[in-house]
Amino acid sequence: MGGPIDDDEECDIPTATTAATGPVRVEVRGLTKSFGAVRAVTDLGFTVEPGQVTGFLGPNGAGKTTTLRMVLGLIRPDTGTATFDGVPYADLPDPVRTVGAVLETAFHPGRSGRNHLRVYCRAAGLPIERADEVLVQVGLADAGNRRAGSYSLGMRQRLALATALLGDPAVLVLDEPANGLDPEGIQWLRGFLRHLAHEQGRTVLVSSHLLSEVEQTVDRVVIVGAGRLVREGSMSDLRAGADGAGTVLVRSPEAGRLAEALRADGVQLALDGTALTVTGRTTDEIGARAFAAGVELHELRSRTSGLEEIYFQLTAGQGQFAAPTAGTAVPEGAAR
């Protein structure tokens, strides 16, 4: 784009490389953590399988970052364990070669990207050339000698990813890695993560507060709300359950008559003049019902996808705001 060095350099996706260690399963069991009086995570457990991209989803403040930091031994849980093939992070004989993590972008602004990577090559006993290899891998080769403080947000994310890749780890943990990436960077990241999991058999755990951001990337989802597990399963199961769960907008000069017909079927809806907002039915089903009732339609379209609606329902009331639809919501911080 503008200059010779920008966020959108061509990136080489590594081909024949595989992780230094074999496939590793991540198991989280009964994690609980409070910060003072605030309960951040409660009895959280899930499994992350090799060869798949697992999405770790939940609204902001749901405890995702705290959980990931507990998994990585940076935060000490009150109770519970997180293990990599049975071994806690702190006991891993060679953590850098087993797990790579992208948390916040952390580096000294006065140090070049290449030297930042060299520090961790030295500390982990990796050959110093790994710094240059991972710079190429994430598309920062030309910016390696620049002070990291001059990097754009997207370049910082790439440097953080490069740091995680240094040890060629079997497990990759990424906390909101799309933050700061431009659309092209996000597209690249999706392909990169899928490649690492599907082609190379690595274990990839990626967090996001937006399902839409990762729904094309992930194979499995772990959804948390207010520090508790609300759903764990495959993306295809989530999709199957989401069919028809979205909201559909209908405009009709006979909206009232269509509303009666749908209500008779037990459908939830809201009527506003000539507009209907219908929940829990597909556009196909509503179209067929309207046709059967002989109601003229002027507009029939899906407003939110079923997946988004399911995600919202699963997490509503579990974050900082109580939603009226969630009858099962537990007030945040409520002790059990």
Separation of CA 143 from chain center? 28
Interaction of residue 301 with other proteins, rule CB under 8 A? no
Q: In the bound complex, what is the minimum distance in angstroms from residue 218's beta carbon to other proteins?
A: 23
Positions 168 through 227 that interact with other proteins (CB under 8 A): none
Phi (first) and psi of residue 194, to 5 degrees: -60, -40
Is the distance from CB of 179 to CB of 148 less than 8 angstroms? no
Of 99 and 295, the one with the shorter C-beta distance to other proteins is 99
Interaction of residue 66 with other proteins, rule CB under 8 A? yes
Q: In the bound complex, what is the minimum distance in angstroms from residue 116's beta carbon to other proteins?
A: 8
Of 125 and 333, the one with the shorter C-beta distance to other proteins is 125
Positions 145 through 174 that interact with other proteins (CB under 8 A): 163
Query: Which residue do the tokens 């930091």 mark?
Result: 69
Shortest CA distance to 229 belongs to which of 24, 48, 37, 18?
Answer: 48
Of 60 and 212, the one with the shorter C-beta distance to other proteins is 60
Three-state secondary-structure class, residue 307: helix
Interaction of residue 37 with other proteins, rule CB under 8 A? no
Interaction of residue 72 with other proteins, rule CB under 8 A? yes
Interaction of residue 48 with other proteins, rule CB under 8 A? no
Q: Quote the CA–CA distance of 164 and 38 in Å, as a whole number.
A: 31
Q: Quote the CA–CA distance of 213 and 38 in Å, as a whole number.
A: 29
- Rounded to the nearest 10°, the torsion over CA 319, 322, 325, 328 is 70
Of 106 and 270, the one with the shorter C-beta distance to other proteins is 106
Separation of CA 2 from chain center? 31
Q: In the bound complex, what is the minimum distance in angstroms from residue 96's beta carbon to other proteins?
A: 6
Positions 74 through 93 that interact with other proteins (CB under 8 A): 74-76, 89-90, 92
Q: How many residues bind other proteins (CB under 8 A)?
A: 34
Of 93 and 183, the one with the shorter C-beta distance to other proteins is 93
Separation of CA 131 from chain center? 27
Three-state secondary-structure class, residue 27: strand
Of 160 and 250, the one with the shorter C-beta distance to other proteins is 160
Is the distance from CB of 129 to CB of 89 less than 8 angstroms? no
Of 72 and 170, the one with the shorter C-beta distance to other proteins is 72
**Host H or E run for residue 212:** helix 211-214
Q: Quote the CA–CA distance of 181 and 105 in Å, as a whole number.
A: 12
Contact range with other proteins by CB under 8 A, out of 5-13, 65-73, 136-144, 273-281: 65-73
Of 13 and 87, the one with the shorter C-beta distance to other proteins is 87
Q: Give the Cβ contact number of residue 122 at 10 Å.
A: 11
Q: Quote the CA–CA distance of 64 and 70 in Å, as a whole number.
A: 10
Using the rule CB under 8 A, which residue among 7, 11, 28, 69 binds other proteins? Answer: 69
Is the distance from CB of 326 to CB of 309 less than 8 angstroms? no
Interaction of residue 101 with other proteins, rule CB under 8 A? yes
Positions 104 through 143 that interact with other proteins (CB under 8 A): 104, 106-112, 115-116, 118-120, 122-125
The residues binding other proteins (CB under 8 A) are: 35, 66, 69, 72-76, 89-90, 92, 95-96, 99, 101, 103-104, 106-112, 115-116, 118-120, 122-125, 163
